[in-house]
Amino acid sequence: MSENTPAHARVRTLDEYHAAYQQSVEDPDAFWAAVAEPFTWRRKWGSVRGGQFSPEGQSTWFDGATLNITENCLDRHLEQRANKLAIIFEPNDPRTRHLRLTYRELHAQVCEMANVLKKNGVKKGDRVVLYLPMIPQLAIAVLACARIGAVHGVVFAGFSAAAIADRINDAQASFVITADALERGAKQIPVKSVVDEALAQCPSVKRMLVVEHTGWPVQMVADRDVWFHEEVMEVDKNCPAEEMAAEDPLFILYTSGSTGKPKGVVHTQAGYMVWADYTFRNVFQVEENDVYWCTADIGWVTGHTYGLYGPLLAGSTTVLFEGVPTFPSPGRFWEVIDKHNVTIFYTAPTAIRSLMAAPIDHVLAYSLSSLRILGSVGEPINEEAWHWYHQHVGKGRCPIVDTWWQTETGGIMISAMAGITPSVPARAGLPLPGVQPVLLNQDGTEIKGNDQEGYLAIKGSWPGIIRTTWGDHARAQQTYFQPYPGYYFTGDGARRDEQGLYRIIGRVDDVINVSGHRFGTAEIESAINESEFVVESAVVGYPHDVKGQGIYAYVICQNGVPTTDIDIQRTEASIVEAVVAHIGRIAKPDKIQLVSGLPKTRSGKIMRRILRKVAEGETTNLGDVTTLLDPLVVDEIVAGKK
Ligand code: ATP
Ligand code: MG
């Protein structure tokens, strides 16, 4: 990028990748010290890596250093980039005006909001829960917390009151920031009233700051609720950044909960910062004039690291989008790309698949000529979606980075570096420098060599590694470090292909064992999705007398659920044919249920534990469904069980 991108912070060729990788493994201290050098530190670190990477311990990075991440996201850029756009806000309704904030303006607004928080009693170390739509104030509030050393906990503004209350209570938050309402497609949805309901169960919360967004009427509770626009009139535009220790918590983020009770993943100041910046610059091969758009909500880790912190640390321009991909039409993403000349676009397979189902004219109506790099995250991208994305969005000219990582890893772990390391459909690719993936057997021995499959684990620590789960360190130890001592356990299964590229097969729990043959659910789904009738599918295993496990497929069809026998038969036959053609007879689904929707979390992931229970015949005790996008699909699925 510019003067503050020294050579070691940025890999530009395949040879440089190999050299950086080798150094990161052989001499991690020297490698990461060099990467960390150009940041703004109040005090330098004592040790680069420390603590204990063990089931009992906890890693530390840059311990002894002090810093403030917002000085690195904002103040540091004011000399060279004060008038450069930091944030382009694209509202839900394209007829309303978009908004642009330069680095200077963003800096000022963050300082003001930080002062509002201080005025209302928020102190370093306090937990502040943010329940806000994707508007600039969400980004500003996150940074304002970081400015004063408060720990932010963003809760996606679509979660139910019960889900908010769980998270507030787990974090023992004393302060909440929210808005009156949000806009989503053609609808306005009240927001503050949901928090009001939650707070009935949350004695720790003393105050709530309310941002006026849509003008929706709200009830302000005396002695608890204050308006942002009133408070901000009374504060200074200057807010010196709090000096934070490297290992002070920066944020708590609850994972999407597709596998059970949400975990409060904790990331700290320095390691997270260095990891977010390094992975952002390298994976997306960012240049000074890029306009970068990550469609993820800041409520997810992708929005934290690649919607906000990564781009701002790198001094880039990031697009913040309030709306949905299908409003006012399924061409909205493409329209926004042309409108703001987006050069790097990062989205999720679930969005790609839903837009694939719309007539292709919605894409063809836009030039998309500004694009140079495309990214995918959140789940394995099936080959059909990969090719569609590559051909129709990237016009065959943009490399795709399929980025594998987790809330717990803080940033991207395995991915192509755009245009540099190999990008192959259905492969995340090679590990980033600093990441040592291994495949383990069930007994924990490493599987060497290529063309192998096993449990994906990471040997050794990296700067963005999860430090703890909030209030329950034992849970982090049990979940990630005890299963295979000496490794961080990802919970995902993976295959290392003939060339050493990693393919993520899916969660370990999602592997189906049919008569001794192990299949990843993603593999079977990818095959099913090849049928011309299919939009999306989810498969799970269920107990089968003969095979051990049988395959139960839930399938969404192109033109809705077929109603006539002949259509049903034709669809099912095509599904079976696709599986037989792409995998083999052995992976043929035993049961196929045609459905109108799948139980998805708000981040677009299928909540398989529900599908598994239904397939197993358990239809009453389905557990917490409050984080589902549309809990009603569960009723339909239960009713239609095969
Ligand atoms: P929970 O841990 O609460 O069940 P979650 O795992 O869905 O929630 P995230 O941390 O957002 O929460 O998601 C990480 C998971 O998403 C990975 O472990 C992996 O299963 C999947 N994933 C993310 N990116 C990719 C990718 N590029 N390819 C394949 N799988 C991916
Ligand atoms: Mg997970």
Instruction: Give tens-digit pLDDT for 453-466.
Output: 999 999 999 999 99
How many alpha carbons lie under 13 Å from residue 180 in its C-beta half-sphere?
Answer: 14
Q: How confident is the model at residue 521 (pLDDT cuts 50, 70, 90)?
A: confident
For tokens 């599918």, name the residue: 537
CA-to-CA distance for 171 and 152, rounded, in angstroms?
10
Which of 374, 382, 405, 409 is the best mutation target for the ligand 1 pocket, counting ligand atoms within 8 Å of the beta carbon and taking the most? 405
Query: Best of 154, 254, 256 to mutate for ligand 1, by most ligand atoms within 8 A of CB?
Result: 256
- Find residue 294's DSSP bridge partners: 346
Q: Which of 254, 406, 435, 470 to mutate to test the pocket of ligand 1 (most atoms within 8 A of CB)?
A: 406
Tell me, in angstroms, the distance from the centre of ligand 1 to residue 265's CA: 13
Q: Quick check: 551 and 587 in contact, CB under 8 A?
A: yes
* Ligand nearest to the Cα of 378, by number: 1
CA angle 591–618–541, rounded 5-degree value: 40
Other beta carbons within 10 angstroms of residue 382's beta carbon come to 24
The H-assigned helical ranges of 120-268 are 136-148, 161-171, 192-199, 228-231
Note the ligand closest to the C-alpha atom of 406: 1
Compute the distance between CA of residue 273 and CA of residue 36 in angstroms, rounded to an integer. Answer: 9
Q: How far is the CA of 255 from the centre of ligand 1 (A)?
A: 9
CA 406 / ligand 2 centre spacing (Å): 6
Structural contact between residues 320 and 307, judged by C-beta atoms closer than 8 angstroms: yes
What pLDDT shows up at residue 576?
A: 95
Helix, coil or strand: residue 301: helix
173 Cβ contact list (under 8 Å, min separation 6): 126, 127, 128, 129, 153, 202, 204, 205
Report the alpha-carbon distance of residue 582 to residue 523 in Å, rounded.
9
Task: Give the Å distance between the CA of 188 and the centre of ligand 2.
Answer: 31
Query: Which of 86-100, 491-505, 511-525 shows the lowest per-residue confidence on average (mean pLDDT)?
Result: 511-525
What's the pLDDT at 109?
98
Query: For residue 7, what pLDDT is reported?
Result: 58
Measured in angstroms, how far is the CA atom of residue 123 from the centroid of ligand 1?
A: 33
Q: How confident is the model at residue 159 (pLDDT cuts 50, 70, 90)?
A: confident
Q: What CA–CA distance (Å, rounded) separates 639 from 642?
A: 9
DSSP conformation letters of 509-578: GGEEEETTEEEEHHHHHHHHTTSTTEEEEEEEEEEETTTEEEEEEEEEETTSS--SHHHHHHHHHHHHHH
CB 295 within 8 A of CB 347: yes
d(CA 458, CA 258): 22
Q: Which helix (H) or strand (E) holds 102?
A: strand 99-102
Q: Is the pLDDT of residue 603 over 90?
A: no
Cis peptide before 328 (omega within 30 of 0): yes
At residue 249, φ and ψ (nearest 5 deg) are -65, 140
Instruction: Report whether pLDDT(538) > 90.
Output: yes
Which ligand minimizes its atom distance to the CA of 402?
1
Please report which ligand is nearest the Cα atom of 605: 1
**Which residue has a Cα nearest atom 23 of ligand 1?**
378
Residue closest via CA to ligand 1's atom 5 equals 256
Mean pLDDT of the chain: 94
* The pLDDT value given to residue 338: 98
- Cβ–Cβ < 8 Å for 309, 273: yes
The rounded distance, in Å, linking the Cα atoms of 326 and 285 is 29
pLDDT for 410: 98
Ligand 1 site residues (CB inside 6 A) read 255-259, 262, 301, 377-380, 402-404, 406-407, 428, 490-492, 504, 507, 605
Considering every ligand atom shown, identify the ligand nearest to the alpha carbon of residue 502 and give its number.
1
CA distance 591 to 321: 40
Ligand 1 binding pocket mutation candidate from 167, 379, 424, 456 (most atoms within 8 A of CB): 379
The best mutation among 252, 407, 469, 609 to test binding of ligand 1, ranked by most ligand atoms within 8 Å of the C-beta, falls on 407
**DSSP string over 196-209:** HHHHTT-TT--EEE
Place of tokens 């033109």: 559
Instruction: Return the closest-CA partner of residue 596 out of 527, 537, 530.
Output: 537
* Alpha-carbon distance values, 213 to 176, 189, 210, 348 (Å): 16, 11, 9, 27
pLDDT at 496: 97
1 band by pLDDT with thresholds 50, 70 and 90: very low
Q: What is the position in ligand 1's atom list of the atom closest to the CA of 491?
A: 18
Task: Report, in angstroms and rounded to the nearest whole number, the Rg of the chain calculated over CA atoms.
Answer: 24
- Token pair of 184, please? 């989503």
Q: Which atom of ligand 1 is nearest to the CA of 428?
A: 27
Cα of 354 from ligand 2 centre, angstroms: 23
How far away, in angstroms, is 506 Cα from ligand 1 center? Answer: 8
Look at residue 435 and tell me whether its pLDDT is greater than 80.
yes
Q: Taking CA 294 as the corner, what is the angle to CA 229 and CA 632, rounded to the nearest 5 degrees?
A: 85
- Pair of tokens at residue 9: 């912070």
Going from the Cα of 41 to the center of ligand 1, the distance in angstroms, rounded, reads 32
The pLDDT tens digits for 229-250 are 999 999 999 999 999 999 999 9
**What 3-state class would DSSP assign to 272?**
helix
